[in-house]
């Protein structure tokens, strides 16, 4: 389970309780990714349930509509995201679309490509074609994959494209998406197609976080690797309410090969040493906590960081799990960060 409450500078913390009581942890250090040559896409949900976020009430009468319209919260957020994402784009622009449009939620509306200045002049008012009455995720996935199909197929070390997809509802074609992505990952493994990373961002109270997590975890423990033996993982997700800084969008873009500080160790809440990093603390850490652990602390030369994990632990510790949950192997990404300079301690 991915923790919702993560203490910075941890970016993502996954907790996997085992039947023997031990707890497997996969944790990343939050950092600005070193991404070269990638295209960047942003897809905004065009389903009818998004109208309120655009400041549209849906009331026909102008008399009542003028009193009921909320503010357009999509426009400022989308502009901030585009301005941030252009920093990682090979073209200096972000390709923008609306998705989940039309009667079945299957239509795509292209909005254009924008840099940080151009996006300030663009008015976000929702789709010009009809608002969607469904939420089909496969169309934007295939749209972006086809759009960036001419990128070099170099495995998962560097993505050919990074695609953020905003959603506010239940994904209706989840199994179709998983089947398509599994087949596409096999083509990446055969060096036939470029690696594309998809980031789902859930907004509002109607999202099904279990669906988002199911996509995020679909490649865990799989045998699919690129030619260099690196894991191929197409999906990550984030709930918008849990995003405090934009760097969290790239919380999976880290590597066990990247050393963030020269020495460190992991202790549980009782002070028991669970892992020691004599040759440097990696940006992607994997370690075990003993039975009964409720938190872990990363202790390093610049201070300490403590992360509680109780939200991911079984409510009844005596009840056995259905099966042990295997943790995924390390992703191979290149990252550079001055960890000690970016971490403040009291």
Residues 209 and 311: their CA atoms lie apart, in Å, by 15
Tokens at residue 181, please?
């992505």
Q: What is the pLDDT of residues 118-150, one digit of tens each?
A: 999 999 999 999 999 999 999 999 999 999 999
pLDDT tens profile 71-110: 898 999 899 999 999 988 999 999 999 999 999 999 999 9
Domains detected in the chain: 10-31+256-342 (2.60.40), 39-250 (3.40.50.410)
DSSP-derived letter for residue 302 is T
Q: Which secondary structure element, helix H or strand E, spans residue 63, and what is its range?
A: helix 62-68
For 100, other C-beta atoms within 10 Å of its C-beta total 34
For the question of whether the overall pTM of this predicted structure is more than 0.75, the answer is no
Residue with tokens 């008015």, as numbered in its chain: 123
What is the 8-class DSSP label of residue 282?
E
- The residues near 324 (Cβ < 8 Å, ≥ 6 apart) are 18, 19
Residues 6, 270, 311, 16: is their CA dihedral positive or negative? positive
Structure tokens at 130: 């009809």
The model's pLDDT over 42-74, given as tens digits with 9 standing for 90+, comes to 999 999 999 989 988 554 444 434 444 468 989
Q: pLDDT, tens digit, for every residue of 302-336?
A: 899 999 999 989 877 555 554 444 444 333 322 32
Distance CA 339, CA 342 (A): 5
* CA–CA gap between residue 13 and residue 40 (Å, rounded): 25
């Amino acid at each position: 389970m991915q923790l919702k409450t993560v203490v910075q500078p941890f970016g993502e913390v996954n907790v996997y309780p085992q039947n023997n009581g031990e707890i497997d942890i996969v944790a990343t250090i939050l950092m600005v990714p070193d991404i070269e040559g990638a295209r960047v896409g942003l897809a905004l949900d065009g389903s009818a349930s998004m109208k309120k976020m655009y400041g549209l009430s849906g009331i026909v009468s102008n008399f009542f509509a003028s009193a009921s319209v909320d503010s357009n919260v999509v426009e400022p957020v989308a502009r901030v995201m585009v301005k941030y994402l252009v920093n990682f784009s090979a073209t200096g622009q972000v390709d923008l679309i609306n998705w989940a449009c039309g009667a079945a939620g299957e239509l795509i509306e292209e909005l254009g490509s924008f840099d940080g200045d151009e996006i300030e002049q663009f008015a976000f008012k929702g789709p010009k074609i009809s608002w969607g009455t469904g939420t089909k995720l496969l169309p934007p996935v295939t749209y972006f994959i086809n759009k960036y199909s001419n990128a070099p197929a170099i495995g998962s070390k560097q993505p050919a494209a990074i695609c953020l997809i905003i959603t506010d509802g239940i994904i209706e074609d989840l199994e179709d998406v998983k089947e398509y992505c599994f087949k596409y990952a096999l083509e990446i493994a055969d060096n036939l197609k470029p690696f594309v990373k998809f980031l789902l961002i859930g907004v509002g109270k109607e999202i099904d976080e279990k669906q988002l997590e199911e996509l995020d975890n679909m490649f865990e423990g799989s045998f699919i690797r690129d030619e260099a033996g690196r894991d191929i993982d197409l999906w990550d997700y984030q709930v918008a309410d849990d995003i405090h800084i934009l760097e969290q969008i790239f919380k999976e873009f880290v590597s066990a090969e990247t050393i963030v500080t020269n020495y460190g160790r992991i202790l549980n809440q009782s002070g028991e040493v669970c892992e020691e990093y004599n040759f440097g603390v990696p940006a992607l850490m994997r370690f075990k906590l003993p039975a009964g652990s409720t938190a872990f602390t990363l202790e390093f030369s610049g201070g300490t960081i403590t992360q509680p994990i109780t939200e991911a632990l079984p409510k009844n510790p005596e009840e056995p799990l259905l099966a042990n949950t295997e943790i995924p192997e390390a992703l191979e990404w290149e990252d550079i960060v001055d960890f000690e300079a970016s971490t403040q301690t009291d």
